[in-house]
Structure formats: C-alpha cells, structure tokens
Amino acid sequence: MKKLILFTAVLFLAVSCKKTDKTPLGPTDIRVRNLTTVDMSDMTVNTFDSTYNYGLLKADSISDYHRFDRAYPKANISAIINGQKYKTDTAIYAWMQYLGPDKITYEIYISNDAQKKLAIFNVIHESPIK
C-alpha cells in the first residue's frame, strides 16, 4: 500500500511539474556574432528542433539573420577553426524559457582552446519580429 501511495505521489509530481511558460514559441530570428580574432567556417546553430548552417563567419563579424521556429537562451553551436571542430557544451532545453518572437544575436567566443570549446558570451535581444 505504501508503494502505491508513493508511486501515485511521484506520478502526480511528474505530471504537475511540466513547463507552464506562456512565452510564445517563436519564430525567432537568430544571427551569430564572432567575438574572436579567427575565422569560423561551417558555423552551425541547432536550437532543439531546427538546424541552420551559416557557413563562413569571419573574425569579429556578424552573420545575417535566419528564422527558427523556436529558440532558447542556449543553443548547440559548432564551427571549424583552423581545421578543427569546436562546439558548445550540449544545451539541455528541458526547463529553459523560449526566446519568443524576437530578433536575437548569439555572441560566441572560444572558451577553451585546448578542449575545442565554444561558448555563448551573451544573448542580445535586438528587437521584436514585426
């Protein structure tokens, strides 16, 4: 009987703890700013269910916008730098809020050259999508 009560309580908590965020899913227009002094090729952004390859992103430059169905404060970003693949730590979207229908910029940098790690320095909300 105690196991049944415990199971019911855990099941209730699991169902009631779902995301209740009222922020619209999107769309979100995303661009990437390269804060480094090196060129990044094959610049790819993945935001949970969408992936886009921005191609070459020169040192200290910014890409054009690309529309994603939804986006989050973190993303899975990868690029080739001097022939080596660099990437951000894997983003886990479970409890993140959507960025919503905005134009945003992910500012990225090399956080650890030895481990080939990129990181998002800042997420800038430029303006709402009209």
Nearest CA to 87 out of 128, 57, 117 is that of 117
pLDDT value of residue 6 = 52
DSSP 3-state assignment of 70? coil
Which pLDDT tens digit goes with each residue over 7-58? 555 545 554 444 444 557 889 999 999 999 999 999 999 998 899 999 999 9
Which pLDDT tens digit goes with each residue over 52-77? 999 999 999 999 999 999 999 999 99
Which pLDDT tens digit goes with each residue over 79-122? 999 999 999 999 998 889 999 999 999 999 999 999 999 999 99
Domain ranges of the chain: 29-128
Identity of the residue numbered 114: A
Given a contact cutoff of 8 angstroms between Cβ atoms, the answer to whether 74 and 46 are in contact is no
Is residue 1 scored above 70 in pLDDT? no
Is residue 5 scored above 60 in pLDDT? no
The neighbour count for residue 88, using CB atoms within 10 Å, is 20
pLDDT value of residue 94 = 87
Given a contact cutoff of 8 angstroms between Cβ atoms, the answer to whether 71 and 28 are in contact is yes
29-128: which CATH number, 3.40.50.620, 2.40.30.10, 3.40.640.10, 2.60.40.2890? 2.60.40.2890
